[in-house]
Structure 1
Amino acid sequence: MKAVIPVAGAGTKLRPQSYTQPKALIPLAGKTVLSFIIDQLKAAGIEEFIFIVGFLGEKIADYVKEHHPDIKAHYVSQQERRGIGHAINLAKNIIENDEVFISLGDTICEYDVQMVLNNPHSMIGIRKVDNPRDFGVAEIDANGFIETVVEKPYIPKSNMAMVGIYKIKETGLLFDCLATNIHKGLLTHGEFTITDALDCMIQKGVQFEAFKVDNWFDAGNKETLLRSNATLLRKYRSSADPLQYENSVIIPPVSIAGGCVIKNSIVGPNVTLGENTLVDQSIVRNSIVGAYSNLFDIVLEDSLIGSDSSLKGETRSLNIGDNTSIDLG
């Protein structure tokens, strides 16, 4: 079994963060989205990973080499962003005839990975949503098998969204369907989707069993990222010892990386601080702050701050990228 993690997306909804940092590497509850996914799959016994990279792909490779040196990693470059189906097809020569586990690189889900790996059928992760038009949607029969899948339908016939997790045993047919769709120019919403390839497989007789994920944490934009950060911090009961920070109050849940200096400040709840960040005479709540940042005399709430940033003065809800200096005084 080989795992494929597409991380070539431009992350346009997370700009300006994604101008300098792949969204899979944005800090989240003391880790990154990518590390959550890799750790989950490693724990289930998967040792070989294929990363589909694009813009800032070297940062993905550097991160994996530093934080996950024990895995066998391959990197495939997707120069043109033509959809997830196109991305998966680029990995054909590495996947060969092995079974494949696909997990999109901007989503964290909680589910029984081992159960999915042990199931004799190909499987697709699903979760009930309020607005299925924003997702790939699966129609499921009474026995839990998927009858058809449609990408972002205008008139959904189901509210079961595909969460971006797929275990596929019939890889030969997967690549046949992908190649056919690409050759025919079969675009959906301007992209070659994996959804169209899966539907092709279903029409050719492959049985996909649906499995429901327990939780689905989206990192697609600032608002969902902050909500996911807060939920994961509460779930893992992240905290810090306030006694090590000078004249400061730490309100859990928080995740404070190594090397941080906090003085004369209030930090929390729902705050993730990257390594070697300085917080002085400030209040920070419900925010994510990247590494090597300096916050002085500022109140931050509902904010997403890039690495190597310097902020000073007033109360703000901000979304700023790396290497930014702002004086609001």
Structure 2
Amino acid sequence: MKIIVPMAGRGSRLRPHSLTVPKPLIPVAGQPIVHRLVKDIAKVLKQPIEEIAFVLGDPAFFGDDVVESLTALAEDLGAKASIYRQDQPLGTGHAIMSAEPSLSGPAVIAYADTLIRAEFDLDSTADSVIWTKHVENPEAYGVVKLDKNENIVELVEKPDTFVSDQAVIGIYYFKDVAVLKQKLQEVLDENVMNGGEYQINDGIKRMMADGRIFKTGTVDEWMDCGNKTVTLETNAKMLGFLNADGEELVDGSVILEDSKIIEPCFVGKGTVLRNTTIGPYVSVGNHCVLENTTVKNSLIQNRTTVKNANLDEAMIGNHVSYDGNFTKISIGDYSVLE
């Protein structure tokens, strides 16, 4: 089994936090988004992963440190890491084809801007499984249309009339991803574009037209990391799940001086809390100092100092120094506000 992870986008909706760190590497509940996504997919698959192929963007932004982080992630799962580059932002289909040498055999394709909680077995009768989530407002999503045998027969983007309430979340399984590769090559050769981009859906629709069987795999939770608000919501949900799973979230090296942690919270190694209360639903990275501060529903990254603050729904980056009385702040890396 292979996992293909297109992640070349710059994550503009999450700025300023994605100005210096690629969005998939921003930590949520103590781990980078892409690390948590890949590990959760590996759990669902319940089979060995032989290769994880990452499709990155400009080397000036997705540099050696990103490659090292992703290589370590793959190796931790016993897999080979393959690194590809998407040289132009030409859509989801183009991103997948940037990993063309790895497109053979069984594979999962997963876009690295979402997190999941799921427990199901892949349908062995299917040529492909499209992972979906029940939503209350299907008109706002791309959804699947099912026939009487529960096979997917059509993909419909933001339907005006009800088609189904199963939204496509951007994770796909292919029994042989080489079939998708063939269809996407046809899309590229024929220059079939939607919105000025080559889309994975155009390859999938050609597979359906050939009679390939598509099934749904429904996830229990689908958590977005597209902007600050939803990233904080995802951080809170994930902390709740990890706490319920009994995972140790506060590193043993954390120093508490007249301070309190209201669970669930993640606190990284070497962090110091002085006269501070954090929680619930707070993630604080490694080697931070929080002093005379109250924090809830927030995400603070690494090597940051916060003093004399009362934070709620705040997102603060790496190497930040903040001393102030704003509450719902969003501060990018290497900022000083005192």
TM-score by length of 2: 0.89
Instruction: Give the fraction of aligned pairs with identical amino acids, expressed as a percent.
Output: 30
Kindly tell me the number of residue pairs found equivalent between the two proteins. 325
| Distance in 2 of aligned mates of 1:110 and 1:28 | 14
1:108 has 2:115 as partner: yes
Number of the residue aligned with 1:210: 216
Structure 1 residues without counterparts, runs of 5 or longer: none
Residue-by-residue CA offset, 1:64-107 (whole Å, 9 max, x unaligned): 23455343100110121111111001111222x32221111111
- Secondary structure of the equivalent of 1:9? coil
1:145 has 2:145 as partner: no
Per the alignment, do residues 67 and 128 of structure 1 end up closer, same or farther by CA in structure 2, a change over 3 Å counting?
closer
1:163 has 2:181 as partner: no
Using the TM superposition, name which of 56-65 and 246-255 deviates more. Answer: 56-65
1:28 has 2:24 as partner: no
| Distance in 1 of aligned mates of 2:291 and 2:212 | 59
- Secondary structure of the equivalent of 1:316? coil
8 Å CA contact 2:74, 2:80 repeated in 1: no
| Distance in 2 of aligned mates of 1:85 and 1:178 | 6
- Secondary structure of the equivalent of 2:24? helix
1:153, distance to aligned residue in structure 2 (A): 4.8
Choose the corresponding residue for 1:252, options 263, 271, 280.
263
8 Å CA contact 1:136, 1:150 repeated in 2: yes
Residue-by-residue CA offset, 1:155-203 (whole Å, 9 max, x unaligned): 6633321111111124333122212222333222332111221111111
Number of the residue aligned with 2:326: 315
Choose the corresponding residue for 1:261, options 252, 267, 272.
272
Structure 2 residues without counterparts, runs of 5 or longer: none
State the superposition RMSD in angstroms.
2.1
Supply the AA of the counterpart residue of 2:216: A
Per the alignment, do residues 120 and 149 of structure 1 end up closer, same or farther by CA in structure 2, a change over 3 Å counting?
closer
1:118, distance to aligned residue in structure 2 (A): 5.1
1:147, distance to aligned residue in structure 2 (A): 0.7
Using the TM superposition, name which of 126-135 and 207-216 deviates more. Answer: 126-135
- Secondary structure of the equivalent of 1:101? strand
| Distance in 1 of aligned mates of 2:160 and 2:180 | 25
Number of the residue aligned with 1:280: 291
1:211, distance to aligned residue in structure 2 (A): 1.5
1:133, distance to aligned residue in structure 2 (A): 4.3
TM-score by length of 1: 0.92
8 Å CA contact 1:151, 1:195 repeated in 2: no
